[in-house]
Amino acid sequence: MSNYQTIELANWPRAEHFKFYQLATHPWFNIIADIDANTLLAYCKEEQLSFFHAYLYLTQIAINELAPFKLRIVDNEVRLYEKIKVSCAILADDETMRFCGFPYAHSFSEFDEKAHIAQETAKASPFIASQFVGGDKAQDEVHMSVIPWVSFSSFTNARNTAAIDSIPKIVYGKATRTTQGLMMPLSVEVHHGVMDGLYVGRFFEKIQQLFDNPETYLID
């Protein structure tokens, strides 16, 4: 049983926009803005929760509440996936990157438990390029990275521009305390064929709402 439904282009309001951006050699756009993480970090410290796992889980919630972020272009069709999980680049003990898949979870406690296991497994596994090149790419996920050393104002993701890739790329940066709060840069890159800036804006609004109300979402 498939975990997605295929969008009928003939009845899809974005069909012509989709066709238009399919002709682009670079159909992605990127928006970066700061998120105030002060409330979330304070809550995680008080409750002794992993701040990293908390914002990954809240990102999972935001992604799954906004349908365009669940759309994927595969073999010239548009699919709407039922559930999206997060896959995040993490740092192994040898200071090289590993890709870590965090299983979808219905509660933060479940996510936190599975995340610890997934991280240890990924760190202990060697990075083998052939595992990620040339094979089928998992579509029911969002690609994430964390750059905790830099509070950036621009970001570019590495990608194969010759391949169709509609998976959103989400990157968090270093949280820096300013007069506005504990500001954390957030980069969101999406395929223009499946959404416009409106939904990226709604994503930022949703993330800020989640960060501002951690007690609502991090307690089972």
Q: Over its length of 220 residues, how does the chain's per-residue pLDDT go in tens digits?
A: 689 999 999 999 999 999 999 989 999 999 999 999 999 999 999 999 999 999 999 999 999 999 999 999 998 899 999 999 999 999 999 999 999 999 999 999 999 999 999 999 999 999 887 666 655 789 999 999 999 999 999 999 998 888 889 999 999 999 999 999 999 999 999 999 999 999 999 999 999 999 999 999 998 7
**Residue 70, token pair as written in the block:** 């669940």
Q: What is the pTM of this model?
A: 0.95
A 10 A CB-CB count for 44 gives 19
Residue whose C-alpha is closest to residue 63's, from 82, 84, 80, 32: 84
**What's the rounded Cα separation, in Å, for the pair 190 and 68?**
10
